[in-house]
Chains A and B, each alone.
Chain A
Amino acid sequence: MEFAELIKTPRVDGVVLHRPFMPTVEGTLCLTGHHLILSSRQDTTEELWLLHANIDSTEKRFVGSLGTIIVKCKDLRVIQLDIPGMEECLNIASSIEALSTLDSVSLMYPFFYRPLFEVIEDGWQSFVPEESFKDLESMTDEWRLSEVNKDFSLCPSYPSLLTVPKDIDDESLCKAASFRHGGRFPVLSYYHKKNAMVMMRAAQPLTGTNGRRCKEDEKLINATLCAGKRGYIIDTRTIAVAQQAKARGGGFEQEANYPQWRRIHKAIERSNVLQDSLIKLVEACNDQSHSMDRWLSKLEASNWQSNVKEILTTACLAAQCIDREGASVLVHGTEGTDSTLQVTSLAQIILDPACRTIRGFEALIEREWLQAGHPFQQRCAQSAYSNGKPRSEAPVFLLFLDCVWQILRQFPCSFQFNENLLIMLFEHAYASQFGTFLGNCVAERGKLQLSQKTVSLWSWVNRPQELERFLNPLYEPNNLVIWPSVAPQSLLLWEGVFLRWNRSTKCLDEAYQEMVHIIEYNKELQNKVNSLRRQLAQLETEDKMVADLK
């Protein structure tokens, strides 16, 4: 298919762009296969380059022959384009509509994007399972890397290499896989070096209504327990939801069959509920009414903050079991690709200082989200403004980022990165020039040949020039477990994402710059003092030597 077929009017002059808190720009609007571009043809004014993939929905209005298109983006920005001429406006609108809803992955921009920078470190090779297994090997010899899923036939959503207990052979893994939803048998998620406890993740067991059991599954997870020790199973669903799942063949671990495990149920919402929550929250944030009661009741009704609190609480619970109770933990929900990953990844941020560095955080996202098979393409197909019938969209990853932001707010000196990194990840998960978040699992990414045909987000982020923007000047590495407060008074609305386009951030940005400046100046002064001291010490020794000679 040629993009040209979809572009009826490639350019229109005299288009006026309105953006909140920015001066209006008049210029020429151009449509390309992947971008909507507005250029004023003046050097001083910033141009608009909008990826079609970033467009969530459009609305058009007409007053006389002047048409207006309201473009609502997946990064939650809303812009308005005034286009002279009804036909031009209709053409542009329908082109945008078509180009922003392309179904075929291989037509996405990452397949056409050629980086303007030199790729020094290929991000596709930055985080390979073999490497992280080497780290694990240096701490314990209880685990092995299994190739049982080499051709993705055992579990389509798992990667080809999986970390499993050493004593469990591949045959048992196959049997355990047949007992878990989508073949997602329990695998290692995190090893807590401090006390050798582990966190595993899986999908729900397929106990069904007649209480099926699987000896291999039991053996598999028991293999992670020390003699006489008990572990915790954290089911992210309420007991009621887990019970209902039995009717559809799912279920939960029966006490009788897993006597060494204590099961705890939490209440993280399912994905369709979360999507609804996001839509309501964004609607509340964009409400121009200035009524306090209306704002608070809408914020409450969206349930977004409740979701943040529940996810964080569950992650804290998992971390608490491991660090405080000295017990191993198995986390699962239904499919093991959404709430499970929120919990396991957040628990690692709490427990593991390495995850609070930029590299470590990237590795965490690679490990616990991309390779663990969070279906990014399905979940991030549409954002809060979508008019279409929701399919599998859900802000699961955005909620994870929000929770990380909450912890970052409470421990502003414990992270190597700042809020910008989180916002950037949110943007790229929904629309990007990079291939990283395309596809739903490792197998799909392989088929799409993403590593050959597209550039990895990490190749770009990890360039020193880019990295600077994401560094937290207050960072002081610490090796501690960081326990966030989950009291509602301690959890804030993530303004950087949800109020980003509804406020002028100039004052806040300048204050941040001033803080950066103070800290940089401090480093500069310390260097200066050091160098002067050295100089002085040298002169004094020389002086003394001269004196001694005399």
Chain B
Amino acid sequence: MEHIRTPKVEQVKLLDRFSNKSVIGTLHLTATHLIFVESNSTSAQEIWILHHHIASVEKLSLTTSGCPLLIQCRNFRLVHFVIPRERDCHDIYSSLLRLLRPVSYDELYAFSYNPKQNDQQREEGWQLIDLAAEFERMGVPCDQWQLTDVNREYKVCETYPRDLYVPITASKPIIVGSSKFRSKGRFPVLTYFYQEKKAAVCRCSQPLSGFSARCLEDEHMLQAISKSNHNSRYIYVMDTRPKLNALANRAAGKGYENEDNYSNIRFQFVGIENIHVMRGSLQKLLEVVGTRSLSMTDYLVGLENSGWLRHIKAIMDAAIFLAKAVTVEGASVLVHCSDGWDRTAQVCALGSLLMDPYYRTIKGFMVLIEKDWISFGHKFADRCDQLDPDPKEVSPIFTQFLECVWQLTEQFPQAFEFSEWFLIQIHEHVHSCQFGNFLGNSQRQREVLQLKERTYSLWAHLLSEKQNYLNPVYSPSFAESHPVLEPSTQACHFKFWRNMYHQYDRSMHPRQSILKQVLTFKESNRELEGTVQALKTKLQKFGVSTSPLKEDAPASTDGERTVEGSSATENGYGELTGSFGSKNEPAVVTLEFGVARMTC
């Protein structure tokens, strides 16, 4: 609290990002949030911005109406306040500067957030996702794959989890030898097992091959992976980097596998760009779509120049390649990039999602993130700028993964148990630091921070409000007819994800949401089924036997709705509002957004 000099400023103007509209309200600064409350009592919208969500604060030069303060958030919200007095503005500005740069983990919101749960509930929350059970679900351990305790004390690889699965034939000396030949000690381990063909998806970091170095243990390791799959004589080694980047790495004593040294490998570059390119790309994208009165030409040219969709497609292409190799050829695949925690995580996770319908359920998707991202050491703290920022380490790698999943939900509307709001909500919390799951860079670090004892798990929170994230047209039987998703990779099928990048720019959204309407119908169906049952029970007390539902459908006038809350207009918008963050759903369709300006 000592950083807050002015906790409350009145008569603050909030400017709309894309129109000339503005509202007046009061700005509150708390230890965790910046809150804007609109003065107008009838609509009185509130905006809550978590300090952790703020990426940058900018004080613009003084104008006649006051001092503008521009706040840019990691969830792509952009707010523009005008504060009447410069002194207040400066106070808020400097407080925020301090508040959004926590100096130690203890300052993160997760350590003060208290959802009124007891210790037992918290513990249960953390136990929801069990990776050992997940490997068991895949059929591991089995006659070819086993759990190794080589990393129990994080001695072989600091950034890997304790429990790792390796081929039966890979002995400890081979593992240790191989790990010494891999960047950051990240040796090849199992991440997904395709039971049907006994094919494995393994991941690692680049080999320290330089121009000519080789390592027999590493070669053995790959051979062990190959041998564990009798369906295929070869394994694929996917280097997810562009060839040029891999070549450049050789000069630094790193590089890629030499096909001459490894028996029966098929080596493949897939050309996903590095974290710096991705960071720049998103920045360009946001600049373009943040432009006021954007013309169609500038939008499309900007979209192209940002390269964003090209990168999304590159990741998707790689995942499809992986899924095909495993499911069609029955070959095992080893995936790596440089350190094996960015592009590798993207491709392994997305590839698994294409192959395994389980990961397309709400619970399964949590498991997938827990496995390929959290446990295998995607550096969330660095990439999402949680603490001690190094701008060169920040990159939207995980955002891209979520977007790839969204692109799939657009092509396969019935394949996923969750809707895009689930993805968006996860994205919110990756940056919110409200829950412990994504704090830190590795499992080891999380243990040191005692996250399970001191913070809450996001997964329990999300499951508790699961109904908000359901996809109403999800069909569990879709998985039977489409166990493996085969998305189109034609460029025209990749779209700009408006609801993610313009989540808070309501004027750009459809004014009525099909998703919410259908969800409401589905919820209403559930209630009505209950009502029908209750009524039947009552009728039976009168000795009337009731017919099953389908038989009688007496004519009732169309608009007639006697059941409370059954009409879409009654509860369609109200019901879900609170749960999607602080967004306010527009009341039906009266909103008018200065659609066109008059020019003479």
Contacts and interface: CB of A to CB of B under 8 A. Distances in A.
A29 B532 CA distance: 56
Contacts of A510: 414, 475
A263 B599 CA distance: 9
Given A503-B488, A525-B525, A511 B473 contact: yes
B491 A486 contact: no
Q: How large is the interface on A (under 10, 10 to 19, 20 to 34, 35 or more residues)?
A: 35 or more
Interface in B504-550: 507-514, 517-518, 521-522, 524-525, 528-529, 531-532, 535-536, 538-539, 542, 544, 546, 549-550
Interface string A504-523: 10011011001100110110
Which of B296, B493, B502, B529 has its CB near the most chain A CB atoms (within 10 A)? Answer: B296
B554 A518 contact: no
A290 B566 CA distance: 46
A309 B560 CA distance: 40
Interface string B566-600: 10110000000000000000001111110110111
Given A324-B592, A499-B492, A511-B414, A296 B536 contact: no
Given A292-B310, A316-B595, A522-B525, A536 B295 contact: no
B491 A296 contact: yes
Contacts of A143: none
Interface in B449-495: 472-473, 475, 488-495
Query: Among A296, A411, A412, A524, which residue has the most Cβ atoms of chain B within 10 A?
Result: A296
Contacts of B542: 536, 539, 543
Interface string A291-314: 111111101100101101100011
Contacts of B303: 296
Q: Which of B492, B544, B552 has the most CB of A within 10 A?
A: B492
A487 B491 contact: no
B310 A488 contact: no
Contact of A483 (B489, B538, B561, B591): B591
A290 B491 contact: yes
Contact of B588 (A264, A295, A480): A480
Interface string A473-504: 01010101111111111111100000100111
Contact of A529 (B412, B518, B528, B599): B528
A543 B538 CA distance: 13
Contacts of B161: none
B300 interface: yes
B498 A489 contact: yes
Contacts of B18: 487
A489 B532 contact: no
B546 A532 contact: yes
A533 B535 CA distance: 7
A299 B492 CA distance: 9
B93 interface: no
Nearest to B562: A530
B539 A539 contact: yes
Contact of B566 (A285, A480, A526): A526
Interface of A is mostly: helix
B508 A490 contact: yes
Nearest to A294: B491
B411 interface: yes
A525 B563 CA distance: 10
A285 B512 contact: no
B553 A527 contact: yes
Contacts of A414: 512, 589
Nearest to B299: A488
A502 B489 CA distance: 12
B517 A413 contact: yes
Contact of A515 (B472, B569, B588): B472
A306 B491 contact: no
Contacts of A299: 300, 492
Top-7 shortest CB links A-B: A295-B491, A511-B413, A488-B299, A300-B300, A296-B304, A525-B528, A292-B310
Given A412-B510, A476-B568, A499-B492, 12 more contacts: A264-B600, A290-B489, A291-B491, A412-B514, A474-B514, A487-B294, A488-B300, A491-B296, A507-B415, A526-B528, A531-B552, A539-B539
Interface of B: 18, 289, 294-301, 303-304, 307, 309-310, 313, 411-415, 472-473, 475, 488-496, 498, 502, 507-514, 517-518, 521-522, 524-525, 528-529, 531-532, 535-536, 538-539, 542, 544, 546, 549-550, 552-556, 560-563, 566, 568-569, 588-593, 595-596, 598-600
10 contacts: A290-B490, A296-B301, A303-B297, A308-B296, A487-B508, A489-B498, A502-B492, A503-B493, A511-B414, A519-B518
